[in-house]
Each structure stands twice: as C-alpha cells, then as structure tokens.
Amino acid sequence: MASVPDIFKTILDHLEVISKAETVLGESVTVGEKTVIPVVKMSLGFGAGGNDVSGKEKSISGGGGGGGVSINPVGFIVMEGDKTAFLPVKTKSVSALTEMIPNIIEKVTSMKKGKNEEADTKE
C-alpha cells in the first residue's frame, strides 16, 4: 500500500508534467511572416490523504488522492519581424464565436453549393 507521502509525490509528479510551459504557451504556428503562439490560463487543484491504524490483531491502512485541471484560453502572442504583440481573448468572445461556428459552416457550405450550381448551369 502506498504511503501518504508517496501519494503526494505521485500527484505532484503528474501535475508537474501537465503544467509545463509548453502547456501554458501552446505550440507556435507560422503563417507567412507571422508566428502565433496560443496562451492559456491553467488552474490546478489536488488533494490526498490517508491513515494507518494498528490494533492488537490487525493493521489497517488506506489512502487516496485526486486532482483536477481547468484550462481557459487567454490570448495569442503574435510575432512579425521584430514586432511582438499580445492579442487577448475575451471569454464572452470565445463563447459567442463557439456558438456562431455552426451558422458560419452552414453559410460557407451554402455559398460553395451556390457557386457549384452556377458553374454547372454555365457549362
């Protein structure tokens, strides 16, 4: 059975892997002359505990632990030549954009379909 310090060490080791700079600063993407790096805010939480009870006939021990991670977009670092800028993402904007995606896809699909139908009638 793992001891409480072992449980804490295991959880902390896993959180260390999750919270590396590569997670907070995402993988860069280069488009033309611009390089874009996504930035996120991470919140980590964990807890662990255990107990050892020794009696005359038996020894009982137990322990456990758990944790959670919350990741939210914050913005983008944009680099072009010798210029660097940070473009923040507003939470309401992200929610609104997410809600708009199905409508945008539908409009683009309709536009493509309309262009294809025009091309078919010209032939």
- Per-residue pLDDT averaged across 56-76, rounded? 79
Nearest-CA neighbor of 5 among 59, 50, 44, 52?
50
For residue range 99-116, list pLDDT tens digits in order: 666 776 777 777 767 666
CA 16 distance to own-chain centroid: 15
Looking at per-residue pLDDT, the higher value among 1 and 68 belongs to 68
Quick one: pLDDT at residue 97?
A: 62
If you search the block for the tokens 């010798």, which residue do you land on? 82
Element (DSSP H or E) covering residue 104: helix 91-122
Reply yes or no on whether the pLDDT at 79 is more than 70. Answer: yes
Residue ranges per domain, the chain?
A: 4-89, 90-123
- Per-residue pLDDT averaged across 53-82, rounded? 81
Secondary structure (H, E, C), 6-74: HHHHHHHHHHHHHCCHHHHECCCEEECCEEEEEEEEEEEEEEEEEEEEECCCCEEEEEEEEEEEEEEEE
**This prediction's pTM:** 0.47
